[in-house]
Amino acid sequence: MIEDFNPWWASREGVEEVEIYRRYAESEVRWRPDLIDRMSLRPFALNFVFGPRQVGKSTALILLVKELLERGVHPKSIFYLSCDAIADYRELAEVLRMYLKVRRAEGISSSYILLDEVTYPREWFRAVKSMIDMGYFRNDVLVLSGSLSISARREAETFAGRRGHGKNLVMLPLPFGRFAELLGLRLPRGGLEHVLGGYMRFLQYVSRLVDAFETYLAVGGFPNAVREYFKYGKVSTAYGDFVSAVLSDLNKLRRSETFFKLTVRAIVEKTPSRFSYHTISKSFGVGTVKTAVSYVELLEKMFLLKTVYAMDAAGEVQPRREKKFYFIDPFIYRAFARWTMAKPPDEHALAEAAAATHLARLYDVFYLRHDGEIDAVVRSGDAHIGIEVKYGRAEGARRVLGVVKRIYTLSRDSADEGVIPTPLFLALLDIPQTVEVPILA
């Protein structure tokens, strides 16, 4: 069985026979996930890789296998297992012991152990934790991938004190800057001050970036959708595949598909407006306010949603005020709009969502409503910087509002002092696809 998952044991070129790799290699467009560089490969390390369904975690693990082989790592030092065929922790422990026997026979003392979709086996963590405690993996690097259940059930937190050099990593959809690269547009990227201080030097790219951005708003950054678009000129089957995968996780958690669907519909229809849990509960029929809160939190734990809280003019967060809820990628809006039979948000709403969620990968993001509204306020050091998204209707930016001393407007394609084309702004921001999140002690 384990040989079937690890064809490179027979021949290093066997990795190219893995179906995941074959689909990647045959794609019209390919990119190297930055997850590969962000993982800790220094023993002992227990890495957890989170992320939405179908964001490319499995592909990244197989590409890691290929790179390790190319570096000369002993093939049988690399063990990959797709855990969706494993029933429970007992079976998982048995398979891991089978591998340990293989490596002992080869005289291997240190391995890379990659357990993909590790949350499928019931109580999977019992097998991994007990084997760590018994010292079986003291010289190894473990990478455990999963979607919602590691996060939603707080299973990763049961490994406190057992992480070594490991990291918690969240793999997210492709950001616009890297999407634009697929279309031949690569600009020097940096932080917010890099963008605000230098965007005027790149205005010659705006026309092409606008075309790329409007494609991005239609396609998004999920690999299957991107590859369908580059192959067929449209996205089709990726929508249904994504929703089915999300519902599979939902069913594993025994949550109501009806309440989940109504919550999703509320967010699709209300973006980019600010609204409350009460609105989701009463206007969209999601039970009580407590129920609405629980399903919003579930979407966050599935890495599909970003909640943006209000800030007042003094810079104080206002958690009880209405919030803004953004799905983290345009593809999610379109997939869920089809599933719920809702009208997808227009380009202006999707552009605001993209700006807010891109910034949220780098900074704490809030919105400010006081004598008007600032769509996104970020804390950069001791400063507060405001971003207003006026996609399709450029306006001059206000200069000061409370603690926000600098306010910029994101337009569609016009540029001026304080006015930046949204596609140029996002293309110049150095947005990672994979972000590191803290490990709880």
Taking the C-alpha atoms of residue 187 and residue 112, their distance in angstroms, rounded to an integer, is 35
Sketch the domain layout of the chain as residue ranges. Answer: 2-171, 176-432
Helices (H) and strands (E) in the chain — how many of each?
18, 15
Q: Return the H-helix or E-strand segment holding 112.
A: strand 112-116
Instruction: Kindly report, residue by residue over 320-331, the tens digit of the pLDDT.
Output: 999 999 999 999
Q: What is the pTM of this model?
A: 0.94
- CB of 155 within 8 A of CB of 119? yes
Count of alpha carbons within 13 Å of 431, Cβ hemisphere only? Answer: 28
Taking the C-alpha atoms of residue 391 and residue 376, their distance in angstroms, rounded to an integer, is 14
> Measuring CA to CA, which residue among 353, 274, 350, 354 is closest to residue 318?
274
- Give me 146's structure tokens: 């999963």
- Give me 312's structure tokens: 């007042």
CATH among 2.40.30.330, 3.20.20.210, 3.40.50.300, 3.90.1150.10 for 2-171: 3.40.50.300
Pairing of strands 274-275, 112-116: unpaired
Render each residue's pLDDT in the chain as its tens digit; 441 residues.
799 999 999 999 999 999 999 999 999 999 999 999 999 999 999 999 999 999 999 999 999 999 999 999 999 999 999 998 899 999 999 999 999 999 999 999 999 999 999 988 989 999 999 999 999 999 999 999 987 656 656 677 778 889 999 999 999 999 999 999 999 999 999 999 999 999 999 999 999 999 999 999 999 999 999 999 999 999 999 999 999 999 998 998 899 999 999 999 999 999 999 999 999 999 999 999 999 999 999 999 999 999 999 999 888 999 999 999 999 999 999 999 999 999 999 999 999 999 999 999 999 999 998 777 899 999 888 889 999 999 876 555 566 788 898 999 999 999 998 999 999 999 999 999 999 988 754
Taking the C-alpha atoms of residue 433 and residue 108, their distance in angstroms, rounded to an integer, is 34
Report the chain's C-alpha Rg in angstroms.
23
End-to-end CA distance of the chain: 36
- CB of 254 within 8 A of CB of 149? no
- Give me 435's structure tokens: 């972000």
Q: Return the H-helix or E-strand segment holding 36.
A: helix 35-38
Q: Return the H-helix or E-strand segment holding 308.
A: strand 305-311
Q: Give percent helix, percent strand, percent coil of the chain, each to the nearest 5.
A: 45, 20, 35
Cis peptide before 44 (omega within 30 of 0): yes
